[in-house]
Structure 1
Amino acid sequence: MKALPLQPHPFRLLLYLEWILLGLSAFKLFGFPGWGRPVLWNNGELYSTIATKTPQMLAIALLLTVFGVMGLRLPTVRWSKLLYLVIAFGLIGAIGQLQGWGLDSLSPLLIAVVLRSSVLFGQTGKWAIAGLVWLVYPFTLVPFLAVWAVMQIVKYNLEGVTIPGLVMLPDGGAQFSLSFNPEQVQQFVTYVQNTVLYFLADALLSFGLILIFVLLLVNSLTNERQGRRKLALAHEQLYQYSVQIEDQATLQERTRIAREIHDSLGHLLTAQSVVLENTALSLKVDPQEAKAFLEDSKRLGAEARRELRQAISMLRSDPLKGKPFEEAIVQLVAEFNHITGINPMLEMNLPIQFPDRYQVAAYRILEEALTNIQKHSEATEVTIKLEIQSIDKLEIQSIDKLRRFYIYKLWTMAKDSTFSKTRLGLVYKA
């Protein structure tokens, strides 16, 4: 036969609480050493105690131990959960049968069953078990129910009973000497009945509230554990997303490098091409000027190689070379003037400092604009305008005299947290 599938108790806190309830039940069953069962009118005595027999005590202790050990491992299969529950109720019934009195000592064991069922079953199952336990609980109050039943019989059968009053005798004894009429007897019986009934109702209500509290406690612990599991799963998903984002960032960085190569090398190679054309024109007419053009071409080629090395090594190149933005723009315009012979009219209105990444982007935009003018325009005059329109907007304009190239760029700086360089593509208008 296949072994019963079991798992360790998932909540150590609930396991400790079960042990406390088990100890409370044991104390109610055994009490202090020498503590016996109280009885009335036993063998002619008005009051006496009867000690629980040793074999009976050993049997109860064994059943309590088995009940406690069952809490260390819980079943995982539905049919085994039901069998587990039947065995637990069977142990409680056997303890009650052996004990025979003071059945209220079984209430802690019933609460332990509710704790275990809350872990084993879902919402419907755990509330059903709690309801079943609440219905079983009145049987643990059999002595009080017996008193209520006896008083009910006395109420309808006593007629004309005279109960003597209590008189203290000289030898230390006592004698009842008071008498009550039938109406007073009926009132006394009604009082006892109502008192016992009130006690039973209070006990049932209190036990029901305890069961509800236990279920809410277990639900809270279960939800907390499920929350931890979901959080761990979310962390794992975030890790996977971070890996994907890292791959995407690598791809974007490669795209950025390609753009950097296009912006920087395109500008330098275009300038070098213009210088070489000037060299070819000046070679026969003015060798000294041609030599100067060759030096410029050599310098541009060296700078292009440096830009290429920086791009290949995936290091973010700083086209500003650590200079202030305005100074770098002036140098870029001066270089354009040196290569093309065109002296652009530069207007800059930058009252505030904006982030470095935007400075690099603006520099690259203007660099691309001047490169396009060198490649495709025959203009003799160029106007360049850089202006911060507001705290989060910068406008760049580059206009040649023939207006064949009109570049207008507007983007958000400080307030746009989703800014990316892909938004810096140029807008051309004929």
Structure 2
Amino acid sequence: MTASRTVELEGHIIDSGMMQQAFGIVMDMGGNFDVEEFEVGTHKEAESYCRMAVFADSDSDLQEILHELHQIGANLTDPVDAHLEAAPADRVVPTGFYSTTNHPTQVRYRGEWLDVENIEMDCAIVIESGDGEHEAQGASDGSSGDDESPRGDPRAYTKVLNAIREGDLVVTDEAGIRVDPPERPRDSSGPFGFMQGGVSSERPSESLIRQVADAMKRTKEEGGKILVVTGPALIHAGAGDELARLVREGYIDMLSAGNGFAVHDIERGLYGTSLGMDMETLEHPRKGHKHHIYTISEVIRAGGIAEAVDDGLIEEGVMYECVRNDVPYVLAGSIRDDGPLPDTITDSVEAQNAIREQAHEADMVLMLSTLLHSVAVGNCLSSTTRVVCVDINPATVTQLLDRGSSQAIGMVTDIGTFIPTLAGTILGEADEESETVEDAEEVDADDD
């Protein structure tokens, strides 16, 4: 017996490759398709439309094909409500639950489309009815959650597995769900036009850095927030002062890092070393290997990073500027950490939640020389968030893209060169503009 459903694709589906990708998915997974309607956009701004019937040998095979098609933005044509089932226990999702992409998503509930809040990849979608009731389709026991939903409008939002509670209404199947992947711009015009994904060590670095600088300035002009995700290699490479400068000048709104980054940044300010290496001579001074532990001990003695800044122990560096300029930071711990610093979050679930909160607030993210933190934050980002990943190791940026952060642009270059050039591009222009204004004011004063 053959199973079939009809899906539709719309937008710039030809030049973005979406239509070809959809055909490939169906055939590669053993299905067939029949294009029922196809309209081609005939000018630059016009969108195209394709409706096609998808066939498979069984319902289960069809379901697998539909799931893959959903990931690229092919949506079912029949406007039915999403299927809901109550979670059978805490941290347990119903069989066949819908696993989210990081693309903007809508769920149909009681005949209306709801935007899914805080969209990120690999989550469940939970519905709150808004009327204080839980009504799970297909749930024979009429189970309800621990607490009734507050009365108001219904809402849909993502939940990670450890946040699922018994009775949560979880979306299952692909019915009643619409996914809208952001489309690549047809050209590179505009300050964000260069962000079309991909990894390159061949592009002219200075030109690309200027484009990143323009994107950062535009983000700030629009009232957006910029998150920096970084590792200790940035300090080792000698870029700490310039990153601190960007924080001080208001171009960095949030920082996500690990215990190691903060320790090396503070150690550099206290002793002029990073993991015992003199940052000026690149030599290892006598007893320099102790500086790392001394740093942790002194910050613990002070009670934390902010307290050490207030006491005058820490007088420079990225963490100093974060404290002085009220830039929130998340330091996520790992099994490798020395100490750790009092500010480091050692509970992994608590650290994930803190990272997730930052990620949801970010409009642009710079990922700088850290594989694990880049992937962790990337998992929490919507595909509409602008991402730039910079690392000397191409595996870092390719793994980020492969993991699903397809909106990221990757630069394979030395972070010790990238950050000073970026800061100089942003702040150098600002300094020149300021000097021009001051010169003009002096002229006006002379005229008076």
Band the TM-score falls in, shorter-chain normalisation: under 0.3
Which structure ranks higher in relative contact order (CA pairs < 8 Å, sequence separation ≥ 6)?
2
- Where is the strand percentage greater, Structure 1 or Structure 2? 2
Which of the two has higher C-alpha Rg? 1
- Where is the helix percentage greater, Structure 1 or Structure 2? 1
TM-score where L is the length of structure 2: 0.17
TM-score where L is the length of structure 1: 0.17
